[in-house]
Structure 1
Amino acid sequence: MAKSSQPNPETEPNLLRTPLYELSAALNARMTPFSGWEMPVQYTGVVEEHTKVRTAAGMFDISHMGKFAVQGENLLEAFQYLVPSDLTTLQPGEAKYTLLLNPSGGIIDDIIFYYQGRSDTGVQRGMTIVNAATCSKDWEWLQTHLAGTGVQLQDLSRQKVLIAVQGPQAEEKLQQFVATNLSELRSFGHIETLVLAEPAFMARTGYTGEDGFEVMLNPEVGARLWQELLAVGVTPCGLGARDTLRLEAAMALYGQDIDDNTTPLEAGLGFCVQLEAKGDFIGREVLAAQKQNGVERRLVALEMSGRGIPRHGYPVLFEGQRVGEITSGSWSPTLSRAIGIAYVPTHFAKIGQELEVEIRGKLYPVVVVKKPFYRSPHRQK
Structure 2
Amino acid sequence: MNQSPTEPLKRTPLHAAHLRAGARMVPFGGWDMPVQYAGVKAEHDAVRNAAGVFDVSHMGEFRVQGSGALAFLQHVTTNDVSKLKPGRAQYNWLPGVSGGLVDDIYIYMVAPDEYLTVVNASNITKDWTHLNAHAGEFDVTLTDESDRWGLLAVQGPQTESLLQPHTDTDLSSKKKNAFFPAKLFGFDVMLARTGYTGEDGFEVFTDASEAETVWDKLLAIGLTPAGLGARDTLRLEAGFPLYGHEFSDTIHPLSSTYSWVVKDKTHVGHEHIRTTPTQTLVGLKLERVPVREGYPVKVGGEVVGHVTSGTSSPTFGHPIAMALVNAEHAGADVFDVEVRGKDHPATRVALPFYKR
Place the TM-score, normalised by the shorter chain, in its bin: over 0.9
Which of 254, 257, 273 pairs up with 1:287? 273
State the shift of 1:13 in Å. 5.0
Secondary structure class of the residue paired with 2:309: strand
Which of 250, 260, 272 pairs up with 1:261? 250
**What are the Cα deviations for residues 143-187 of structure 1, in whole angstroms up to 9, with x where unaligned?**
111123121111111121000000001111222332211111110
Equivalence for 2:87: 93
Equivalence for 1:65: 59
Distance 1:289 1:326 in 2: 23
Letter in structure 2 aligned against 1:112: Y
Mapping for residues 355-374 of structure 1, pairs under 5 Å = 355-374=335-354
Secondary structure class of the residue paired with 2:47: helix
Equivalence for 1:34: 28
Secondary structure class of the residue paired with 2:127: helix
State the shift of 1:237 in Å. 0.3
Distance 1:143 1:27 in 2: 39
Which of 1, 10, 21 pairs up with 2:15? 21
Structure 1 residues 13 and 261: alpha-carbon distance in aligned structure 2, compared to 1, 3 A threshold: closer
Count, aligned residues: 356
Structure 2 alignment gaps of length 5 or more: none
Which of 307, 318, 326 pairs up with 1:345? 326
**What are the Cα deviations for residues 67-109 of structure 1, in whole angstroms up to 9, with x where unaligned?**
1111111311211011111111112111111100112331110
Letter in structure 2 aligned against 1:133: S
Which of 107, 110, 117 pairs up with 2:111? 117
Q: Is the 8 A contact 1:264 1:273 kept in 2?
A: no
Equivalence for 2:311: 330
1:144 aligns with 2:149: no
Letter in structure 1 aligned against 2:250: N
Q: Is the 8 A contact 2:154 2:201 kept in 1?
A: yes
Secondary structure class of the residue paired with 1:328: strand
Distance 2:110 2:66 in 1: 12
Q: Is the 8 A contact 1:316 1:358 kept in 2?
A: yes
Secondary structure class of the residue paired with 2:321: strand
Which of 70, 78, 82 pairs up with 2:76? 82
Equivalence for 1:43: 37
**What are the Cα deviations for residues 46-68 of structure 1, in whole angstroms up to 9, with x where unaligned?**
00000000000000010000011
Equivalence for 1:379: none
Distance 1:225 1:361 in 2: 49
State the shift of 1:309 in Å. 0.6
1:199 aligns with 2:188: yes
**What are the Cα deviations for residues 84-141 of structure 1, in whole angstroms up to 9, with x where unaligned?**
11111112111111100112331110000111222xxxxx111100000001100111
Distance 1:132 1:287 in 2: 24
State the shift of 1:195 in Å. 2.3
Equivalence for 1:167: 156
Mapping for residues 191-230 of structure 1, pairs under 5 Å = 191-230=180-219
Distance 1:360 1:326 in 2: 14
What is the percent sequence identity of the aligned residues? Answer: 43
Letter in structure 2 aligned against 1:266: S
1:241 aligns with 2:230: yes
The alignment's C-alpha RMSD in Å is: 1.6
Secondary structure class of the residue paired with 2:254: coil
Q: Is the 8 A contact 2:147 2:208 kept in 1?
A: no
Equivalence for 1:297: 279
Secondary structure class of the residue paired with 2:202: strand
Distance 1:20 1:177 in 2: 21
Structure 1 alignment gaps of length 5 or more: 119-123, 377-381
Which of 112, 116, 121 pairs up with 1:127? 116
Which of 130, 144, 169 pairs up with 1:155? 144
